[in-house]
Chains A and B, each alone.
Chain A
Amino acid sequence: DVKVTQSSRYLVKRTGEKVFLECVQDMDHENMFWYRQDPGLGLRLIYFSYDVKMKEKGDIPEGYSVSREKKERFSLILESASTNQTSMYLCASSLLAGGRDTQYFGPGTRLTVL
C-alpha cells in the first residue's frame, strides 16, 4: 500500500513564525501536492511538484513556498505565518500527473496560527 506521511498531526505556531510542513511518500511517485482544506471551501491546491526541484503554483500559492530536494519528500513552507493560514493541510502523491491517476493522501496537519 502507498503510504504518505506528514510530520505532524497538530501544530500551533505564532504569527510571524516560519513554519515547515513535511510530507514523505514511499511509492516512488513523481507527483506530489499540497492542499489546504477549509470548511465550506473544500480542498484547494496550493502547490504541486512533478519532479525533483520542479514545482508549479496551484490555486492559492500566496504566502506559501515549497521545496522538493528528494523525490520522496515535499515540504510546504510558510515564510511568515498569519492567522488566516490556520487550516488543515493535506499532502498527496500520485504516479502520474493530472486527474486520471489516483492521488494518495496523508492524514493531514491541522495548523493553528495564534
Chain B
Amino acid sequence: LAKTTQPISMDSYEGQEVNITCSHNNIATNDYITWYQQFPSQGPRFIIQGYKTKVTNEVASLFIPADRKSSTLSLPRVSLSDTAVYYCLVGGETGANNLFFGTGTRLTVIP
C-alpha cells in the first residue's frame, strides 16, 4: 500500500520557486500521483497529476523520478495567494480503498 510522507510545513518568500516533495516508497505499478491545494475554509482542489517523468500545466510542474518512489511539486514564483496546504495523493485507476492522501504540507508565502 502506497503510504505517503510530506514535510509538515514550508516557508518561502514571494517570487521564489517552491518545491514540495512527497515520498511514496511502496507505490504500485498502476498508481498515479495527484496533488491538491487547499485554502482555509475550502475543500481541496486539483492542481496536477502525473505517472512518470515530468508534467507541467499553467499552475505547476510535477517531477517524478524513474523509480517513482517520490514526486516533487514545483510552484514557480510563488505569491501570497499560494499560501495553502498541499496534499499528495497516490492511487490506482480503479477503486478507492487504495487511495492515500499525505498529511499535507502547509506552505506560507512571506512578503
Residues of A within 8 A of B (CB): 4, 31, 33, 35, 40-45, 48, 50, 56-58, 90-92, 96-100, 102-108
Apart from the given pairs A104-B45, A105-B44, 14 other A-B contacts in the complex at a CB distance below 8 Å: A31-B96, A42-B104, A90-B43, A92-B43, A96-B93, A97-B94, A98-B96, A98-B98, A99-B31, A99-B34, A100-B93, A102-B34, A102-B49, A105-B43
A to B CB contacts below 8 Å, 27 in the list: A35-B101, A40-B103, A42-B102, A43-B44, A43-B87, A43-B101, A44-B101, A45-B97, A45-B99, A45-B101, A50-B96, A56-B95, A57-B97, A58-B97, A90-B44, A91-B43, A96-B94, A98-B93, A98-B94, A99-B91, A99-B92, A99-B98, A100-B92, A105-B44, A106-B43, A108-B41, A108-B42
Chain B residues within an 8 Å CB radius of A42: 87, 101-104
Which 6 residue pairs across A and B have the least CB separation, nearest first?
Answer: A99-B91, A105-B43, A42-B103, A43-B101, A48-B96, A102-B46
Q: Taking chain A's interface residues, is the majority helix, strand, or loop, or is none over half, making it mixed?
A: strand
* Nearest B residue to A101, CB-CB: B93
CA distance A43 to B45 in the complex (A): 13
CA distance A4 to B34 in the complex (A): 20
Residues of B within 8 A of A (CB): 8, 31-34, 36, 41-46, 49, 87, 89-99, 101-104
